[in-house]
Structure 1
Amino acid sequence: MEPAPDIAWATLTSGSSGSPRIVLRTAASWGDSFAAVARYLEAGAGDAVLLPAPPAASLTLFSLAHALEAGPRPLFAADPHSRSHATSLHGTPQALRAVLDSGAGSRLRAALVGGSHLDPALRHRAEAAGIRVTAYYGAAELSFVAVDEGDGLRAFPGVELSVRNGELWVRSPFTAAGYAGATSPLRRDGEWATVGDRAELVDGRLRLLRRADDAILSASATIVPEEVEAVLRSVPGVRDAIVFGLPHPTVGALVAAFVELDDDLALELRRAARERLAPAHRPRRWFAGELPRTASGKPARAEAARRALAGEVPRLAI
């Protein structure tokens, strides 16, 4: 397709569930959110924001665009000098944990964290170090959708949320123009748009249930991975978890879990699954190790399933 004349940016989706796509954006679709982002980062033109993502990532290009419009100066986490001079961080939970582990973030006063689940223990650890943490949900196609300052996800400033038949729709000035040469999961209804994420709205707070195409069909049950992942992450010592379906000839798919652990937690995981998950939702195959992640640090569901099927990660006897 021929890009529209007002297209200013082309970014890549994360590819966490498959091949990345090229997303096309106008300058305004990012620029209109700069003021709100600056408040969350507590940063202006005289400050520096630490970016763990690679240059081609949407998050990084957003920060470069922000810098061109008097936003904070971007620094890259791969440079130890950068880690010691940044006043804020914009990245994934994995990036925040890496900075805290390195002890190099002593000047950080704010972190804007998205891309995957933020462990409450990690939030508390950062806040104890004097870092104000704002988590957010967004998508490459929608940009910022909702933010969580510690009391649940609420609509990002300027965004309206609606849940229709369990699917999240947004009305937002930040939505992308479309894609370059790819089938689009972005659907529109007038000023509203969706990428298919399942969600609930309760008292103005957003609860995400992943995309509909991530659902696992096992026998007669439909399992939403996010619901199982939330239970597994609640077990002390579980750093992160990915839940996916493994093909099975008779039931369609088996629920499988790939967990990143601080220690041997087989007994605790077995107890949590038995006590807190319905039988159909309990993982039947368990794998342990360092979670595969995209270049920007998001858990890579498709790669986790591939490694499990290929026998590249150890099985847990649970």
Structure 2
Amino acid sequence: MPVAAQVLRHASTRPHRQAVCGPGGELSYAEFARRIRGVAVHLSGRGAGRGTLAAISLADPVDLLTVVLAADLAGATPLLCDPSWDARMREAIPADLRIDAMPPVADGSPVSPSPLPGDRSWACFGSGSTGRPRAVLRTRASWTTSFQQVGELAGIGPEDVVLVPGPLTSSLYGFAAVHALAAGATALLPGRWSPGALTAQLRRATVAHLVPHYLPVVLDALREGVGSPLRTAVVGGAALPGGLRERAAAAGVRVVSYYGATEMSFVAVDADGSGLRPFPGVEVEVRVPAGRSLGEVWVRSPWLAEGYLAGAVGPLRVDEDGWMSVGDVAEPYRPGEVLRLRGRGDGAIQTGGATVVPEDVEEVLRSVPGVGDIVVVGSPHPDLGAVVTAVLEVGAGTPPSRTALESVARGGLDAAQRPRRWYAVKSLPRTPAGKPARGLVAARLAGGDQDLWRLT
């Protein structure tokens, strides 16, 4: 069943229950359903239907969700795009419809598609997307049939208010919002993380869906005496730092942490602090090469994505038996044991719950005049896990200004991909094949090599 149809059902049974609360105000399920129906009529008039792809770039999270669910109701596939992207990025997306303003709420005949489980019902960009789009496509079944398992693990029901404090263009936050609506709960959608607004949000939220580095801020707010009904924190996107679960328990908050990927959805979950174990319906293998102590994580489940939009290249691999991997690395694993992750095997950077592929950032920044070559690595950070760090090879020339670099980054990269730290070096260390030696660059940064100077 489309999520939009579930919203319409809630509107008929509990019309006055609050559905969404965003920067622009609140909507009951009846009001939200009316907007979704009206936008679906408008989109259908523009040709939206089964097999069409609607690229949606809206800054307001409630507007974005309205159009996404309207496209869903019309049978189209919504593709969630970052509204901060420049024209070059937008034009690179092979969409049938481009929506960058809230469509009118039209009158007309109700839209009545015949949804099928195999329909493409959702598409969003992974954190590694660049001017060469790499959006992940999901079938309806892979997206919605895990709702029941998530609801049972997290205890989310129609009386809850679910805080979703990040952009819905992220698959983590997008899933959290539509899952809350499918459950008949209220989705609290500030659109972005704002510590200054957190107190007011926590006074209402019973559940929060977060990345790990936000949880300490929430717990600090609770410790300072914020009167909050918060009982559960659903945490994904990166490993949960030690001690946070215990801190949360002391504040009366149960933590449900999980491991997954945009391409593979939920893989493993830790609902009680005993360690990550396969999410319901998921098979896990760790394929360890002979003579090695670590192996790649491979997954088979009903929740796997269909693949990348337009055949884009990415870390996703699928074997002939339907097992999927994105290169994550773990210790050897046997069924019934705890899954012990050890990072990414492709050099990807885990930063604040997002996964950034260095090559994608490098591709964009190489276009800056004055950059001969570039290496992007992760530098340790106490809260984010790592921050994206760029090291520019400039030869005997003068490096471009940080202002120029950041301007290009803003236009071609999403927020998680943009470097926080910038360095220059006359010559990058290279492998025998002539490629920049990423590991040596990271080691030189960590060692405080004086040949690398910081751009300010």
Provide the TM-score with structure 1 as the length reference: 0.67
8 A contact 1:145–1:155 mirrored in 2: yes
Structure 1's 310 and 20: CA in aligned 2 closer, same or farther, altered over 3 A? farther
1:234-290, CA deviations, whole angstroms, 9 ceiling, x for partnerless residues?
xxxx54543999752479345577xxxxxxxxxxxxxxxxxxxxxxxxx553399xx
8 A contact 2:285–2:333 mirrored in 1: no
Question: Is the deviation greater in 38-47 or in 3-12?
Answer: 3-12
Letter in 1 for 2:128: G
Q: 1:179 aligns with which of 292, 297, 308?
A: 308
Q: 1:242 aligns with which of 374, 377, 386?
A: 386
1:170 Cα shift?
0.5
Cα RMSD after superposing both structures? 3.5
Letter in 1 for 2:331: E
Letter in 2 for 1:211: R
Q: 2:185 aligns with which of 72, 80, 93?
A: 72
Structure 1's 109 and 248: CA in aligned 2 closer, same or farther, altered over 3 A? same
Q: 2:454 aligns with which of 295, 298, 311?
A: 311
Matched residue, 1:55 = 168
The runs of 5 or more residues in structure 1 that have no matched partner are 217-231, 258-282, 289-308, 314-318
Structure 1's 2 and 187: CA in aligned 2 closer, same or farther, altered over 3 A? farther
Matched residue, 1:85 = 204
C-alpha distance in 1, partners of 2:143/2:338? 24
C-alpha distance in 2, partners of 1:253/1:184? 19
8 A contact 1:99–1:105 mirrored in 2: no
Q: 1:27 aligns with which of 140, 144, 154?
A: 140
8 A contact 2:164–2:188 mirrored in 1: yes
Matched residue, 2:257 = 135
Matched, 1:169 2:350: no
C-alpha distance in 1, partners of 2:274/2:130? 28
Structure 1's 310 and 66: CA in aligned 2 closer, same or farther, altered over 3 A? farther
Q: 2:445 aligns with which of 285, 288, 299?
A: 285
C-alpha distance in 1, partners of 2:348/2:126? 20
Tell me the percent identity: 46
1:85 Cα shift?
0.6
C-alpha distance in 2, partners of 1:56/1:95? 18
Letter in 2 for 1:94: H
- Aligned length in residues: 250
Structure 1's 130 and 175: CA in aligned 2 closer, same or farther, altered over 3 A? same
Matched residue, 2:279 = 156
C-alpha distance in 2, partners of 1:90/1:310? 39
Q: 2:246 aligns with which of 114, 120, 124?
A: 124
1:54-89, CA deviations, whole angstroms, 9 ceiling, x for partnerless residues?
021112221232234225322135454333211011
Letter in 1 for 2:342: L
What aligned pairs does 1:221-300 form with structure 2 within 5 A after superposition?
238-239=382-383, 241-242=385-386, 247-249=428-430, 252-254=437-439, 283-286=443-446
8 A contact 2:168–2:177 mirrored in 1: no
Question: Is the deviation greater in 112-121 or in 8-17?
Answer: 8-17
Matched residue, 2:339 = 206
8 A contact 1:40–1:110 mirrored in 2: no
The runs of 5 or more residues in structure 2 that have no matched partner are 1-50, 54-76, 78-117, 289-294, 350-379, 392-427
C-alpha distance in 2, partners of 1:92/1:160? 24
Letter in 1 for 2:329: R
C-alpha distance in 1, partners of 2:227/2:129? 27
8 A contact 1:38–1:71 mirrored in 2: no
8 A contact 2:206–2:231 mirrored in 1: yes
C-alpha distance in 2, partners of 1:140/1:90? 16
C-alpha distance in 1, partners of 2:121/2:161? 24
